[in-house]
């Protein structure tokens, strides 16, 4: 029996595993790094042990021994699919919550895995060289190290970049290619296996809505599959699991292109999206992982799938700026307690979101009697949900759930790329403009009330009634300059015709939108404001109406696109560079971005230093105009040799 369990992970997955442990009466041990000392998962465990890194096997095993744990659960990510870690845990006399190390090893090598499952009769994608191709890391996963190649001209540079990133992320630079099917669906099958030879097929999930090859919406069961396709998926998943005598929870992933099915990979761990399977089966997959590790036997058959469940991943990132990671202290976090809604979160109000780990901060899951009911419930939950203090993809998630293609079940892995512009455009609609107006007038009253003299003057408006005051805000990549004035003690705004201000106090604004009364909660934060209204929550960043010329950066400045760590500098001061030449590589939250020269020129000054932490907007380098007498440059010859970046900023997940 397991009596005390160490979770070798952090964030929402650690908290989720602790929840099952508490229900089963198992004591819990957390591990944490210096940047996670105040994280929620640390305080929720019975005891906690500080380590230097979540990737340090020896320290994690030593932490388990020091805390008196008799078992280790790896969660997902980090060391969860590391066969050496599994062997080290078992070698220390501890119980490993996961499959056998040999199964991890075989399925962890994507090239070897395809050979093994192909021998078992599972269809796989061939490695031919017809374009488009997808380059993948053999030891990778989760979208890290992938490159899509559409022509032979860019194949070599893409291979070099993928190899470098795979080496950095996984310690193995081996890559391989397979045909790229941009309009296929990503469907996976949940499996459970015990030590007695029984394999359960626990339904399927669709994970097609992705950004940068990483999932953001998952649902169970996968909608719209024909009975023959679903049966074939389950049959092939069983064959893959049986090929390695699988034990524990695992997932077999496939591409589905019409009636064609191709094996992608097998993840030998619990998946991020496991809650949707739990919702439609009533199973606790973590409890079954623990039972199987204790030698328990699965019943003859799993429970049937009933209803429908959908999960969205809430990321601290800015979709309007190429999904760049965002940092900051969360001021408010609340998604309610509605029945049939589950929130697995790694954060709470007061949590500091830093640059060191994955950008996912929470998952929100809904369950309904059918898919339409699940969509409606989840959409309403996201509308009512509040996250303030850090930019997230919440608005994008709301737009996805309202999209006609998604609602109809017409999903594939290219859906986000096709619809992203429209989804981001939802950030400039009438609802956001009303929230911006509420922010402006609410902030004005709060500012007036804060002054000892102004506090005695109602609303404290300027005494030139014919001229509006203006407050400027930025939200979702758009800037709103909100004008308003006080006319006879009543606030009015020509900025939003048809909408009037009915009431304003310290934290509430009531608007009238063509006869419909709406209430907004407004919290002033510096020059900006947090607003929550009938259409959702918004963080408005204050923008100066008049810009100080001294604040302008020099022409040719290369600015940090996100807060992060400088991990590579490809040039030195005085180097001549061509447009598109890589200059600096930033890393934050498991994502790397390569900043490239915006045009031909000379590196006039260089502030980027490897190991330096920078903030978004910091000047990293200045590219001065080229010497007119110099010979023309090309990206391949300018500066030190480095993989060419395909755009001004190229993004990939790292590890």
Q: Are residues 419 and 284 in the same domain?
A: yes
Q: Which residue has the higher pLDDT, 542 or 639?
A: 542
Q: Are residues 485 and 404 in the same domain?
A: no
Query: Alpha carbon of 251 to those of 84, 103, 217, 520: distances in Å?
Result: 20, 13, 17, 44
- Res. 649: pLDDT tops 70: no
Position 160 scores a pLDDT of 82
Phi/psi at 467 (5° precision):
-120, 125
**Per-residue pLDDT tens over the stretch 98-134:** 999 999 999 999 899 999 999 999 999 876 667 888 8
Other residues' Cβ atoms within 10 Å of the Cβ of residue 512: 14
Give the range among 142-151, 221-230, 276-285, 455-464 with minimum mean pLDDT: 455-464
Q: Which residue has the higher pLDDT, 57 or 129?
A: 57
Q: Is the peptide bond before 221 cis (omega within 30 degrees of 0)?
A: yes
Residue 338 lies in a domain: yes
**Per-residue pLDDT tens over the stretch 497-538:** 889 999 998 799 999 999 999 999 999 999 999 999 999 999
Q: Are residues 293 and 275 in the same domain?
A: yes
- Res. 32: pLDDT tops 70: yes
Phi/psi at 117 (5° precision):
-75, -30
Q: Last residue of a domain, which of 543, 577, 597?
A: 543
Position 637 scores a pLDDT of 43
Domain with residue 554: its CATH number is: 2.40.50.100
Q: Last residue of a domain, which of 428, 447, 478?
A: 428
Query: Alpha carbon of 435 to those of 268, 379, 474, 508: distances in Å?
Result: 45, 19, 12, 12
Residues of the chain above pLDDT 70, percent: 89
Q: Are residues 486 and 597 in the same domain?
A: no
Domain with residue 158: its CATH number is: 3.30.1490.20
Q: Which residue has the higher pLDDT, 633 or 364?
A: 364
- Res. 652: pLDDT tops 90: no
Position 461 scores a pLDDT of 41
Position 563 scores a pLDDT of 85
**Per-residue pLDDT tens over the stretch 593-612:** 888 988 899 998 899 899 89
Residue 117 lies in a domain: no
Alpha carbon of residue 208 to chain centroid: 15
Residue 60: which domain range?
4-97
Q: Last residue of a domain, which of 137, 156, 180?
A: 180
Q: Are residues 282 and 400 in the same domain?
A: yes
- Res. 655: pLDDT tops 50: no
DSSP 3-state assignment of 257?
strand
- Res. 426: pLDDT tops 90: no
Q: Are residues 381 and 481 in the same domain?
A: no
Averaged pLDDT of the chain: 88
Position 454 scores a pLDDT of 43
> Whose structure tokens read 């962890």?
108
**Per-residue pLDDT tens over the stretch 167-197:** 766 677 788 888 888 789 999 999 999 999 9
Domain with residue 324: its CATH number is: 3.30.470.20
Position 147 scores a pLDDT of 82
Residue 110 lies in a domain: no
pLDDT band, very low/low/confident/very high, at 556 (cuts 50, 70, 90)? confident
Taking residues 204-233, what's their average pLDDT?
A: 97
Residue 191 lies in a domain: yes
Tally of domains within the chain: 5
Q: Are residues 84 and 171 in the same domain?
A: no
Other residues' Cβ atoms within 10 Å of the Cβ of residue 17: 25
Q: Are residues 142 and 74 in the same domain?
A: no
DSSP 3-state assignment of 184?
coil
Query: Alpha carbon of 275 to those of 114, 170, 251, 261, 367: distances in Å?
Result: 27, 27, 13, 25, 10
Position 149 scores a pLDDT of 85
Give the range among 230-239, 384-393, 405-414, 421-430 with minimum mean pLDDT: 421-430
Residue 102 lies in a domain: no
Residue 320 lies in a domain: yes
- Res. 349: pLDDT tops 70: yes
Query: Alpha carbon of 421 to those of 417, 426, 515: distances in Å?
Result: 8, 9, 32
Q: Report the C-alpha gap between 286 and 296 in whole angstroms.
A: 13
The radius of gyration of the chain from alpha carbons, rounded to an integer in Å, stands at 27
Q: Are residues 166 and 195 in the same domain?
A: no
Q: Are residues 526 and 554 in the same domain?
A: no
Position 508 scores a pLDDT of 96
Residue 114 lies in a domain: no
Residues of the chain above pLDDT 90, percent: 67
Determine if residue 522 is left, alpha or beta; phi over 0 gives left, psi from -120 to 50 gives alpha, anything else beta.
Answer: beta
Record the tokens describing residue 376, joined without a space. Answer: 């409606």
Q: Are residues 358 and 249 in the same domain?
A: yes
Q: At what angle do helices 110-119 and 101-108 cross, to 10 degrees?
A: 100
Position 256 scores a pLDDT of 97
Domain with residue 33: its CATH number is: 3.40.50.20
Going by the DSSP 8-state scheme, the letter that residue 319 receives in this structure is G
Residue 109 lies in a domain: no
Q: Report the C-alpha gap between 573 and 207 in whole angstroms.
A: 46
**Per-residue pLDDT tens over the stretch 441-496:** 999 888 777 654 444 434 444 444 457 889 999 988 789 999 988 777 677 788 88
Q: Are residues 174 and 164 in the same domain?
A: yes
């Amino acid at each position: 029996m397991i009596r005390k369990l160490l979770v070798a992970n952090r964030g929402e997955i650690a908290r989720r595993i602790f929840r099952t442990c508490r229900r089963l009466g198992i004591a819990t041990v957390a591990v944490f790094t210096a940047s996670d000392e105040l994280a929620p998962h640390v305080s929720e465990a019975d005891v906690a042990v500080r380590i230097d890194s979540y990737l340090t096997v020896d320290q994690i095993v030593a932490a388990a021994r020091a805390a008196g744990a008799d078992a280790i659960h790896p969660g997902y990510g980090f060391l969860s699919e590391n066969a050496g870690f599994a062997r080290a845990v078992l070698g220390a006399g501890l119980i490993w919550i996961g499959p056998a190390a040999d199964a991890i090893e075989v399925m962890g090598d994507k090239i070897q895995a395809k050979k093994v499952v192909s021998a078992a009769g599972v269809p796989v994608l061939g490695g031919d060289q017809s374009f488009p191709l997808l380059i993948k890391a053999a030891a990778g996963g989760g979208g890290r190290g992938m490159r899509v190649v559409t022509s032979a001209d860019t194949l070599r540079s893409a291979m070099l970049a993928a190899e470098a990133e795979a080496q950095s992320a996984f310690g193995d630079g081996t890559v391989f290619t397979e045909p790229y099917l941009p309009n296929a669906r990503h469907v996976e099958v949940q499996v459970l296996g015990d030590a007695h030879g029984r394999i359960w097929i626990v339904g399927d999930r669709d994970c097609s809505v992705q950004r940068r090859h990483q999932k953001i919406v998952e649902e169970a069961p996968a909608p719209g599959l024909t009975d023959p396709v679903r049966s074939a998926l389950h049959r092939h998943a069983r064959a893959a699991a049986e090929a390695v005598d699988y034990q524990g929870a695992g997932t077999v992933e496939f591409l589905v292109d019409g009636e064609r099915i191709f094996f992608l990979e097998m993840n030998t761990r619990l998946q991020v999206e496991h809650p949707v399977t739990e919702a439609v089966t009533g199973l606790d997959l973590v409890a079954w992982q623990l039972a199987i590790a204790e030698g328990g036997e699965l019943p003859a058959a799993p429970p049937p799938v009933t209803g429908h469940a959908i999960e969205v991943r809430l990321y601290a990132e800015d979709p309007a700026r190429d999904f760049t990671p965002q940092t900051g202290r969360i001021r408010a976090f609340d998604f309610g307690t509605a029945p049939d809604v589950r929130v697995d979160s790694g954060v709470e109000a007061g949590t500091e979101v830093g640059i060191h780990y994955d950008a996912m901060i929470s998952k929100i899951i809904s369950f309904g009697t059918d898919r339409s009911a699940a969509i409606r419930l989840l959409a309403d939950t996201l509308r009512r949900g509040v996250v303030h203090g850090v930019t997230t993809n919440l608005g994008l998630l709301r737009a996805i759930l309202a999209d006609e293609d998604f609602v109809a079940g017409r999903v594939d892995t290219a859906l986000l790329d096709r619809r992203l512009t429209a989804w981001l455009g939802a950030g400039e609609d009438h609802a956001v403009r009303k929230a911006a107006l509420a922010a402006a007038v609410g902030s004005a009253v709060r500012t007036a009330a804060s002054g000892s003299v102004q506090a005695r003057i109602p609303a404290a408006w300027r005494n030139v009634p014919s001229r509006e005051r203006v407050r400027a805000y930025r939200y979702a990549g758009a800037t709103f300059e909100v004008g308003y004035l006080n006319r006879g003690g009543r606030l009015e705004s020509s900025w939003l015709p048809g909408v009037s201000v009915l009431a304003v106090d310290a934290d509430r604004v009531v608007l009238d939108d063509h006869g419909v009364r709406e209430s907004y909660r407004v919290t002033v934060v510096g020059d900006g404001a947090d607003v929550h209204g009938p259409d959702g929550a918004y963080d408005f960043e204050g923008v100066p109406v008049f810009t100080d010329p001294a604040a302008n950066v020099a022409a040719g400045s290369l600015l940090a696109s996100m807060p992060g760590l400088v991990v590579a500098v490809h040039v030195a001061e005085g180097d001549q560079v061509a447009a598109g030449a890589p200059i600096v590589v930033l890393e934050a939250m498991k994502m790397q971005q390569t900043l490239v020269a915006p045009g031909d020129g000379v590196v006039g000054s260089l502030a980027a230093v490897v190991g330096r932490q920078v903030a978004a907007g910091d000047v990293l380098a200045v590219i001065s105009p080229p010497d007119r007498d110099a010979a023309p440059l090309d990206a391949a010859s300018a500066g030190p040799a480095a993989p060419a970046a395909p755009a001004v900023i190229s993004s990939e997940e790292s590890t």
